[in-house]
Every structure is written in C-alpha cells, then in structure tokens.
Structure 1
Amino acid sequence: MRKDQDQSPPSPRRKTAAAVATRPRVALVLQGGGALGAYQAGVYQALHEHDLTPDWVVGTSIGAINAALIAGNPRETRIARLREFWETVAHPDLFDLRQVPDTLRPWATRLTTLDTFLRGAPGFFRPRPLNAFALGLPVPPDEASFYSTAELGQTLSRLVDFDYLNGPSGIRMTVSAVKVTCGTLVNFDSRKRPLGPEHVMASGALPPGFAPVRIEGELYWDGGLYSNTPLEAVLNDEARSNLLCMMVDLWHADGPEPRTLEEVQTREKDVTFASRSQRHIDAYLQQYRLRRAAHALYKRLPADLLTQQDRQMMAELGADSTIHIVRLAYAGRDWNMASKDVNFAKGSVMWRWEQGYEDGLRAVALGRACPFGESDTGIVVHDLPGGDTHVRPEKTADRSA
C-alpha cells in the first residue's frame, strides 16, 4: 500500500474499492482545551497543504468547534473559515509583549487572561454578571452558567455550512457530549444523524462556565467531563480497515513536580484534562488479539463445514488491519498558568497556530512513513519527536501563549 500518495482523499461516503485498497483512511482526533485549540488549526493547515485531508474528524469541546469548521466547509474554504473563527474570538493584546521585560511577561499575560474572564471572548461567550451573585437561586437550565454562548451559536451558523457537513460530500464528523442527568457519554456522528450547531455547542458546554444544551429533550455538557480525547470513537468504529489517526492533544499528563501553588493548579488541570488514550489503546489491543485468534480458528475449519453465518462472522472478526496513531501535543509553557485555556489574546492565539503548523509538518512526514499492509500488530503509536521542546523566539514573538 502506498503511504505517500499526494492526492486529496475522497469523501468516505464516495470511496471506491480501489481507493480503499490503495490508501488508509485518515482520522483527525481533536482534544478539548479552549484557547489552546488554535494549535489544532495550525496542525490542520499543515495536513491540508500537504493533501493529507482527513476522511473523519472527531472532536470534543474546542476540538468539536474546529472539527465543525473543517467538516462543514469545502476544501478550498476551510483554512479561511478556521482563521476567521480564531481571529473573531481573539481579542487585542493589552500589551506589546515584545516590549515587556521577561520578568513582567507572566503578569502581563495574567492581566490579559483576566480581561477574558471579565468580558468574555467576542463571537464566543459573554458574561452573565448577575449569576455570580445568585448561586443559590433557581434559573432555567439554559441559563445555569456564568457565561452565555449565544454568540457562539451565531458564529457557527455563519462559518459552518451544516447542509454541506451533512451532505454526501462532507467529511464525516463525530463530536462527544455528556448527558447531564446520568453522566453517559454520547457520540453525535454525521453518518448516523444530521448534526447542527447545537451538537457542537453541547460538546463545548463546560460547566459552570457554560450552560448545558438541550437536544431532543436531553441536556448535555462538555464531552471532556467524561473523556477529553475522543479516541475511543475511532477505536470502536465498525470499519475494519487500515487507518492513520492524527491525534492532537492540548494537555500533558506528564510534567515536573509543582513548586508553587500556581504550578499546583496548572498541574492539576493538566492531569484532569490530559489524554487517557493509553487506556483505550490497551483495551483495543486486547479486543484485537481476541478477534484475531477467533478469526484464525474459523480459517482452520474445512470450507464445506462453514455456514453462511460462519462466513459472516469471519468477515466481522477480520483483524488484518492496522491503526497508526501519530500523537501531537501542544507544548507551550504558558508561564505555568492554570488559566492558559482562557488566554484568547491575539498574539497568543496566533503563536499557538504557528506552533501547530510546525508540528503538523513533522506529523505529515511521520504519518506518510507509517508502514501499512497485512499485520498482526493491531495498533502502533508514534509520538512526534521533540514535541515538548518548543521555545519561543527571543523578543520576536508573543511569549504569552
């Protein structure tokens, strides 16, 4: 199988048998992380420019918003829509950090983040000032939050063509959300139902900042409350074919011992929202080995003893495919700020985009080098080399990322 084809892959709904035979499917998995999500937009730009367009985009929270901007637009307008979104929600820097001494930059960044807490992010969320003083008073479910996301609904309706997303030409999109009443994770999949702005907003409704979103009578919160990296949806997919999965994380489970209370808060948030992908990978490998063993047993049966049901079971147990996961992780230091995901300063947002683009270029090369073919491996994880060594240029770029 060629792994270096440079033609843009067709829609999964219009694939031919020849296309499936000559290239793996490509999935893009996007973690939640608020303002850090600009990094994911940069990663997609690199994939886009090198014709490694995903067949399937899976996202949670800000990852769901980026997924909708990608899947809900024709190829030629995706980058423009992503950039328009991030330029809309970013606010001007309060300070020109290139002129601020290194020792004062963390404080300048804190003030910028405080500005977001007080005023919200344009086109995304605005504060409900009275709710902060009415914690014990009953409010309608769609107002039970400190911020209103009505502007996000308008932004999504303007920048995402949901008719295109749900049509035969759209990339498959899956976004996850949690049922408020029972804590069950639900995956909303464009292959199984039409999706709209409400599904994307539900996936990003992180309490108590944002209110739950009601869909078909049920209230939903941010899928990150259950699992902030929606890799499980990819591993549990019914298709048993080779897959290249680009997984873009925004939080790190690994990190140094904290030495200050602020570092404690940062480390706690990193651990809370970091990927639990290894747990899903281990479970998938166990299932894969069981399927492969059962498939081998069926193949040993004499052909004249196989019933139609046996042959169907063999097809369902097919385990000759391989999933290669290329794992990218945002590695900005963010001054050890627990509120780094709320830093929507324009300089920080654009810096993250640039870092995502640089990492995305390396991920393209790594992904195209993945060996596909008949294998008993099941799943292979490739961590991007040097993914945790980003250093901001001295005095030339915003260091507040």
Structure 2
Amino acid sequence: DGRLEIAAVSGTSAGAMNAVALADGFVRGGVEGARKKLDDFWRAVASKGRFSPVQRMPWDVAWGNWSIENTPGYLFFDTMSRVFSPYVANPLGLNPLRDVVAKEIDFGNVRACKSMELFISATNVETGQLRVFSDGEIDLDTVMASACLPQLFRAVEIKGVPYWDGGYGGNPALFPFFKAAATEDVLLVQINPVVREGTPKSANEIQNRIDEITFNAGLLREFRSIAFVKELIAAGRLPHGEYRDIRMHRIDADEAFKDLSASSKVNAEWAFIAYLRDLGRSAASDWLEENYDAVGQRPTLDLSG
C-alpha cells in the first residue's frame, strides 16, 4: 500500500517465480510494473494450464472445491509418478512451465534490478545441501531448478550439478538476510501450514501432511537459529554491529489453506490463482492493519512457538 519498500526477496519454487516476475516488472515500471508483470505471468501460467488433462470436475466447480485429488487426470498422473520416474515417463524432458517462464520473464531485467536483492534456492541432489543463487547468477535454469519436483521433472543441471526443488532445504531460505538487505525486518509470506490439528487417516491426507512437514522443516530450523542469535545479542555475547538482530514477521492464511490439499498445488485454473491472489491481498491488508506500527521496532512472530 505504499508504506513499505522491499529491500530483498528470497523465494523457492513458485516463490522464486514470483521473485523474478517482481524484479522484472519493477525494472520495467516500478511498483505498478511489478504488479502488472505478476498478473501477466500467472495469467500466462493459467492459459497454458487450460490444456492440462488435470482439471476440476464439474461438481467440484459447482461446490467450490479447489482440490483435484479425486479427478481422473490427477489420479492417473499421481499413480504414474509413483511407478515411473520422469526419466521414463517423460523421456523428452518436456516442461510447459519452463516455456512460460522463458517467454514471460526478461532475465536481463532481473539481473539488472538494483532496487532489491534476489535470492533463489535449490537443493543440490548429490549433497542434499541448499544452494542459494543471487543477483547475477539468476537465470531460467536457476528458477526451474528451484521449482523442480523430482516426482514430476528431471533434475535441472547447472554447471554439471543436479538440483531439485529448494523447498527441501529452505522454504524459503532466510539466512541470506543475515548479511544482506538494508533492514532487519523480515516478512515471511507462508503458504504451507505449520500446524494442522488432528491425525491424518487417508493416504492422501497422510502424504499431504508429510509434504507440509518436509517443506517446513528447513524453515523451522532457521527460526531456531534466529531465536538463538537474538538471545546472544540480547545477552551481550554477540556484537549487534556484526550480527543482525532480525525482527521476524509473518503473513499467512492458515485457516483458508487448511481446506486445500496438496493436489491444489497443480491446479493452474485462473479462477483458483485469482482466489489465492485475493486471499493474499486480504491477509496482507489485515497484517498491515494490525502490525504496521511494529515494523522497525519489534518482531511480531514468536519464533519459539
């Protein structure tokens, strides 16, 4: 709403795509250019998704159900991904999303963006370590590596090193902010619920919760590290000038996301993308209403929870 400036962005998977679209658009036309490029990019994704065999059934549309776990197309591809690797099921290595990113994003603009620092994360398949690409390193391959789900796509090789989705190591990575950015306020936009009450019983529910726990694990470890550093700074055992006293904040929509299964992540329908956009705007507006005065003053996220 004009009151905050973005000094740096760290993104993984879809967040990486948002990050490069944001930077590309910002170079083209400032804040409004960034909004337009984000809108154009996701409309292009939705347009490509119209040809996908994985679509909601008519009754799902009628009932407002965004998840597609019980549709024939999803069940077929889910079963195939458990039986055949992408090296067998997709021998040509086709990825329609890569075509969209290549067409919509000007990586020259992304690398030329000096208004904000960018950090894109991917997981090194061989070592299991998180690799963070920044600024001049960011290109089509780094973004696709960050969004490479190994059940669906071949690993993306960068300089001979294979990479998978960055969510396995950091979702997103926060540690780049310890040394970068001209601010100690870090605002996390979280889409995977940390807490989901009750015990999952069905196979889909169990797999969904496993995915959430897996993709939140790296983030929770970083929370503990930030909390530990803050304690040492407060106790005078670490110099504040050399270590950042990070103030963590979080925007989430946990209640709404709890109704969405993992299958919704492959729903590229524009109506669903627009629903998520509007949900995010509402959550951001609510957060600003409640917490804007804390920015620059104190954290609003309890890292011990």
Task: State TM-score, norm by structure 1.
Answer: 0.61
1:263 to 177, 187, 205: 205
Counterpart amino acid of residue 37 in structure 2: R
Counterpart amino acid of residue 210 in structure 1: F
- Greater helix share, structure number: 2
**2:105 & 2:253 partners in 1: Cα distance?**
26
**How far is the alpha carbon of 1:264 from its aligned partner?**
2.8
Counterpart amino acid of residue 194 in structure 1: E
Aligned pair in 2 of structure 1 residues 53, 145: CA closer, same or farther (>3 Å)? farther
Partner of 2:118: 173
Query: Do 2:107 and 2:139's aligned partners in 1 also have CA atoms closer than 8 Å?
Result: yes
Partner of 1:59: 11
Query: Do 2:294 and 2:300's aligned partners in 1 also have CA atoms closer than 8 Å?
Result: no
Aligned pair in 2 of structure 1 residues 249, 268: CA closer, same or farther (>3 Å)? same
Query: Do 1:132 and 1:146's aligned partners in 2 also have CA atoms closer than 8 Å?
Result: no
Partner of 2:272: 348
Partner of 2:141: 198
**2:128 & 2:18 partners in 1: Cα distance?**
24
**2:97 & 2:213 partners in 1: Cα distance?**
28
**2:185 & 2:3 partners in 1: Cα distance?**
14
**1:207 & 1:97 partners in 2: Cα distance?**
31
Query: Do 2:122 and 2:164's aligned partners in 1 also have CA atoms closer than 8 Å?
Result: yes
Aligned pair in 2 of structure 1 residues 117, 187: CA closer, same or farther (>3 Å)? farther
CA RMSD of aligned residues (A): 3.7
Structure-to-structure mapping, 1:237-248, within 5 angstroms: 237-239=178-180, 242-248=183-189
**How far is the alpha carbon of 1:94 from its aligned partner?**
5.1
2:207 aligned with 1:283: no
Partner of 2:301: 381
Structure ranking higher on relative contact order (CA contacts 8 Å, 6+ apart):
1
Query: Do 2:69 and 2:75's aligned partners in 1 also have CA atoms closer than 8 Å?
Result: no
SS at match of 1:359: helix
Aligned pair in 2 of structure 1 residues 217, 228: CA closer, same or farther (>3 Å)? same
Partner of 1:69: 21
Higher mean C-alpha deviation, range 276-285 or range 157-166: 276-285
Q: Deviations over 1:39-93 (max 9, x none)?
A: xxxxxxxxxx435241211101111111111112222322222122222222456
**2:291 & 2:57 partners in 1: Cα distance?**
39
2:157 aligned with 1:214: yes
Q: Deviations over 1:240-298 (max 9, x none)?
A: 864222211111121122344433333333222236534322222322443552467xx
Partner of 1:163: 108
Query: Do 2:171 and 2:219's aligned partners in 1 also have CA atoms closer than 8 Å?
Result: no
Partner of 1:85: 41
Q: Identity percentage over the alignment?
A: 21
Task: State TM-score, norm by structure 2.
Answer: 0.78
SS at match of 1:285: helix
Counterpart amino acid of residue 117 in structure 2: R
**1:88 & 1:334 partners in 2: Cα distance?**
27
Runs of 5+ consecutive residues of structure 2 not aligned to the other structure: none
Query: Do 1:249 and 1:275's aligned partners in 2 also have CA atoms closer than 8 Å?
Result: no
Structure-to-structure mapping, 1:323-342, within 5 angstroms: 323-332=247-256, 337-342=261-266
